[in-house]
Amino acid sequence: MANHKSAEKRNRASEAKRARNRIRKNAVKTIVKKIRLSQDKKSASEDLVKIASLLDKLAKSKIIHKNKAANLKSKLTRHVNALK
Which CATH number do you get for residue 12? 1.20.58.110
**Structural domain range at position 78:** 5-82
Phi, psi of 8 (to 5 degrees): -65, -40
Model's pTM, two decimal places?
0.82
Domain count of the chain? 1
The span from the CA of 57 to the CA of 59, in Å, is: 5
Residues 24-82 have pLDDT tens digits of: 999 999 999 999 999 999 999 999 999 999 999 999 999 999 999 999 999 999 999 99
